[in-house]
Amino acid sequence: MRGALLAAVSLTALAAAGPAGATTLNLLIWEAYIDEQILADFTAETGIEVRQTFYDSGDARDEILADPNSNVDAVVTNENGAKLYGNRGIIMALDAANVPALKDYAESWTKRCGGYGVPYLWGTMGILYRSDKVTTAPASWADLMKPAESLRGHIAMYDDHAEAFVAPLVLLGKSVNANDNESLKAAYALMKAQAPYVLTYDYVITSVQSPDKGPNIYMALGYSGDQYTLNDKVNAPGLWRYVVPREGTLSWLDCITVSERSGNKELALKLVDYISNAKNGARNALKLNMPTASTAALALLPPDVQSNPEIYAAPEILAKSQLQEELTVESVQARRRIISSLAQRSDAR
C-alpha cells in the first residue's frame, strides 16, 4: 500500500468515526509499534478503548495530522514533527504536571521532543537483509545504493522525504538535513541509478506482508528493531538481520503526544502517561526489542538486554550518527518530488 493511499484511508476512517466517545481514544501510530497487552490492560483498568490507526511513512502521518477533520487523540511522531506541530498549536505542550511519567526522562531526551511530547522509542537507520539471500552482511551504504547484480529487483526503499535520503546523503558524506540543491541533485543521481534494483518504495514492514512482493525482498532500508517485526511477520526467527553501515547514519527519536484537537484531552493525557510510565515503558521495550528513553524503565530491564548492541547502539555508532533537523520548505518540496517520481516509475514497471 502506498503511503499516500494509506493516509487517505486513515483520514476517511478517522473522520468517519466522528468525535470519539468518552470510552474511546484514537491513537495514530506505526504498525506493530506498541505492546498490545499494554493497551488491553489500559482498557481493563479504565474502561477506555484505544483504537489504533496505522501509518507507514512520516509523510502519511503528517498528512493526517495536518487535516483538521482527522479525529486523532494521541499520536506517535518523530522529534521534528513534535516540535513542528507543537509550534503550530496542533499538539499539546506536555510536562510533568500533566504527564507525571516525564519525571523519569532525562532532559537530554525530553528537549528533543521540544516540550510537546514524551520520548517514546529511539534507534538508528540502517540496512535490513535476509540472511539466507545475502550471506555476507552489508557493511556500507554502497551495498544498498550501489547493489550487487543479484539484488536487482529485490530491494525495498522508502517513500518518505526525510528518511529516504539518509542512505545517499551519508554515502556522499553530506548531512542528512541537507537543503542545498547540489547535495539533493547528487543524492538523486544515486537514487536514480539504484532504481532498477528497487522492487518497491513501500515501507518494508508493509511490503513484506504482500504475497507477491514480500518473498522477493532481500534487502531494505529500515529502522533498528524492524528485523524483529519482520521475523515475526514471516514467522522465521533470525531470518532478517540489521546493520548500521560504517559511514554513519541517522539517530532518531519518536515522541508520543496529545492532539490539541482531541475532544478527550484528559483521557488522552492519561493514556500517554500510562504508556510512558516505568513499568509499561520497560514492558514495551522488551516486547518490541527496542530501546527506551526512560531512565526508570531502563533500570527495570535485564542486564543482557541493556547491553545488547542490536538494541542499544554502541557508542561508536552513535558518535557517527546525525540527528534530524527541520528542513526548509523548498528542500521538503524537492525531496518529495524526487521520491514521488521514483516511486511512480517503480509502480509503472
Any idea what the CATH number is for the domain that residue 182 is in? 3.40.190.10
Q: What is the mean pLDDT of residues 5-27?
A: 55
Q: 303 and 280 in one domain?
A: yes
Among 142, 159, 130, which Cα is nearest to 193's? 142
Domain membership of residue 156 (yes or no) is yes
Q: 108 and 18 in one domain?
A: yes
Let me know: does 85 contact 91? Beta carbons within 8 Å: yes
Using the predicted structure, report yes or no on whether residue 15 has a pLDDT greater than 50: no
Domain membership of residue 115 (yes or no) is yes
Q: 94 and 115 in one domain?
A: yes
Domain membership of residue 269 (yes or no) is yes
Question: At what angle are helices 329-348 and 181-194 packed, to 10 degrees?
Answer: 10
Alpha-carbon separation of residue 238 from 162, 222, 227 (angstroms) = 29, 16, 8
Give the Cβ contact number of residue 313 at 10 Å.
Answer: 20
Q: Write the DSSP assignment of 10-41 as a string of letters.
A: HHHHHHHH-S--TTEEEEEEETT-S-HHHHHH
Domain membership of residue 282 (yes or no) is yes
pLDDT 10s digits, 230-286: 999 999 999 999 999 999 999 999 999 999 999 999 999 999 999 999 999 999 999
Alpha carbons 89 and 117: distance in angstroms, whole number: 13
Let me know: does 293 contact 109? Beta carbons within 8 Å: yes
Let me know: does 79 contact 254? Beta carbons within 8 Å: yes
Number of H helices, E strands in the chain: 16, 10
Q: 160 and 237 in one domain?
A: yes
Q: Name the percent of the chain lying above pLDDT 70.
A: 94
Using the predicted structure, report yes or no on whether residue 21 has a pLDDT greater than 60: no
CA atoms within 13 A on the CB side of 314: 9
Q: What is the mean pLDDT of residues 112-124?
A: 97
Domain membership of residue 297 (yes or no) is yes
End-to-end CA distance of the chain: 16
Q: 333 and 296 in one domain?
A: no
Domain membership of residue 317 (yes or no) is no
Q: 209 and 190 in one domain?
A: yes
Q: 203 and 162 in one domain?
A: yes
Q: 203 and 92 in one domain?
A: no
Q: 87 and 171 in one domain?
A: no
Q: 239 and 133 in one domain?
A: yes
Structural domains counted in the chain: 2
pLDDT 10s digits, 130-147: 999 999 999 999 999 999
Give the Cβ contact number of residue 40 at 10 Å.
Answer: 12
Q: 152 and 182 in one domain?
A: yes
CA atoms within 13 A on the CB side of 272: 35
The boundaries of the domain holding residue 273 are 3-122+252-312
Alpha carbons 343 and 338: distance in angstroms, whole number: 9
Q: 276 and 241 in one domain?
A: no
